[in-house]
Amino acid sequence: MTTFRERTERTRDKTAKLTIAEVLEIFAGGQLPLRFSAYDGSSAGPPDAAFGLELKTPRGLTYLATSRGDLGLARAYVAGDLDTHGVHPGDPYELLKTLSDALVFEMPPPPVLAKVIRSIGVEHLRPVAPPPEEMPARWRRITDGLRHSKSRDAEAIHHHYDVSNRFYEWVLGPSMTYTCACYPHEGASLDEAQENKYRLVFEKLRLKPGDRLLDVGCGWGGMVRYAARRGVYTTGVTLSTEQSSWAQRAIAAEGLGDLAEVRYGDYRDITEAGFDAVSSIGLLEHIGVRNYPVYFEFLQSRLRPGGLLLNHSITRPDNRSEPLARGFIDRYVFPDGELTGSGRILSEAQNVGLEVLHEENLRPHYARTLRDWCANLVDNWDDAVEEVGLATAKVWGLYMAGSRLAFETGGIQLHQILAVRPGDHDDTGNLPLRPWWRP
């Protein structure tokens, strides 16, 4: 068995062709934390490693060689050209964590890079069609309208949320809640934590029987039904046909039709005003940062003076990063999604005249939520694959496990921001001096 040093010496031999495993070792500086094998018979990394990657086809090599960042890995994996070992495809978290902790890619010097190109062959530098599950590049989506126009937002929502209600039932569990839960204690179940999240939002908004609540981006109507069970007249709106039909059936099954309504449509088409409260749970990520002023101004216009707004959204850990999602997330998960820091969100809310009362970061809770969603996917794997296909199921396992890792390491966060529409003294002056909800 040759050592990395011996393989490095081969890079200086102009007549020797490098194997795929040797190429990978060059980019990884010889520090592979897992076992790698390729279709050309080469391998690298510890033979007894707990996790492994297997490159099975030349097409997979082309994906890796022609795509930047995580997109090439995702394409090869989703297409079946790259296999994982030691983890379940419904939850590859441990493999991703190992890669994140111990693998650092470095660009080799030009002479070595030239040898790498000659070894893998120029035919692998010509892009090939991506898997059919992939969305077109952002510039090609102009056929659906300008970014964050109503038509293009509808297509983006359709791509992500209209997968299959049965699939979501297996992943999300009985709550059918696709946003960060809030775990009241270490041993809390996912359903208990989701119910607790709705309780937290309900209490922050100071809702009481007879009040009117608008829930924008309402998903499958979890918040709508939670509030209606407590006597609040609630209107929800979603751009997903699958979500709206499921929510309407759930409302009817619980006999909540006199109090609850879920509409299919764009939140911007809501004409009613004077709501006592507005909740936005997981919608801001789809709005577009440049549209924040219009978004917050619209939500404020739906509130009565003194009414409360709760915005619950994923954020970046700073306010300087580029907001556009890229790579795997943009092409396979959240087309046109944009994230920014909580400071930017606070500023935009304040700039339209909302008074921010409170904000908190639930980042660790989202990591646990994703852990539990992955566990559900693993438990229901065969049914999920039969329902949506192996490629789509793999996308979800990869996306949720990777997101869990990002929340654990602080790469992304989850902030709840509570604000009030200022009114006369009697409206806002009646708010308690300190937070009035249970944490």
- The order of strands in the sheet holding 35-38 is 43-44, 35-38, 52-55, 82-85
Give one DSSP letter per residue of 102-133, joined into a string: H----PPPHHHHHHHHHHH-GGGGS--PPPTT
What is the C-alpha separation between 296 and 307, in angstroms, rounded?
A: 13
* Closest to 228 (Cα-Cα) out of 192, 253, 264, 194: 253
What is the C-alpha separation between 248 and 305, in angstroms, rounded?
A: 30
What is the C-alpha separation between 399 and 379, in angstroms, rounded?
A: 17
Q: Is the pLDDT of residue 95 over 90?
A: yes
The predicted model gives 107-115 an average pLDDT of 89
What is the C-alpha separation between 209 and 229, in angstroms, rounded?
A: 9
Pick the more confident residue, 229 or 68. 229
E strand or H helix at 292: helix 292-302
Q: Are 88 and 381 in contact (CB under 8 A)?
A: yes
Q: Are 419 and 196 in contact (CB under 8 A)?
A: no
- The order of strands in the sheet holding 212-216 is 260-264, 233-238, 212-216, 275-281, 303-315, 413-420, 355-361
Q: Is the pLDDT of residue 6 over 60?
A: no
Give one DSSP letter per residue of 395-435, joined into a string: HHHHHHHHHHHHHHHTSSEEEEEEEE---SHHHHTTS-SS-
- Residues of CATH 3.40.50.150 domain(s) within the chain? 150-428
Single-letter amino acid, residue 408: E
Q: Is the pLDDT of residue 201 over 60?
A: yes
- Reported as a pLDDT band with limits 50, 70 and 90, residue 1 is very low
Angle ∠(287,291,292) on CA atoms, nearest 5: 85
What is the C-alpha separation between 200 and 414, in angstroms, rounded?
A: 14
pLDDT at residue 9, as a whole number = 57
Which CATH architecture best describes the domain 150-428? 3-Layer(aba) Sandwich (3.40)
Q: Is 31 helix (H, G, I), strand (E, B) or coil?
A: coil
- Residues forming beta bridges with residue 390, ordered by sequence position: none
Q: Are 18 and 117 in contact (CB under 8 A)?
A: no
The two tokens of residue 358 are 């409170």
Q: Is 148 helix (H, G, I), strand (E, B) or coil?
A: coil
What is the C-alpha separation between 377 and 65, in angstroms, rounded?
A: 31
What is the C-alpha separation between 123 and 417, in angstroms, rounded?
A: 51
260-264 and 275-281 as β-strands: parallel, antiparallel, unpaired?
unpaired
The predicted model gives 19-25 an average pLDDT of 95
What is the C-alpha separation between 261 and 266, in angstroms, rounded?
A: 15
The proportion of the chain whose per-residue pLDDT surpasses 70, expressed as a percent, equals 90
Least confident window among 245-254, 266-275, 427-436: 427-436
Q: What is the mean pLDDT of the chain?
A: 91
Q: Are 23 and 116 in contact (CB under 8 A)?
A: yes
364 alpha carbon, distance to own chain's centre: 15
Q: Are 9 and 30 in contact (CB under 8 A)?
A: no
Q: Is the pLDDT of residue 108 over 50?
A: yes
pLDDT at residue 54, as a whole number = 98
Least confident window among 5-19, 42-56, 276-290, 296-310: 5-19
Secondary structure string (H, E, C) spanning 208-249: CCCCEEEEECCCCCHHHHHHHCCCCEEEEEECCHHHHHHHHH
What is the C-alpha separation between 56 and 3, in angstroms, rounded?
A: 24
What is the C-alpha separation between 411 and 409, in angstroms, rounded?
A: 6
The residue length of the chain stands at 439
Q: Is the pLDDT of residue 309 over 80?
A: yes
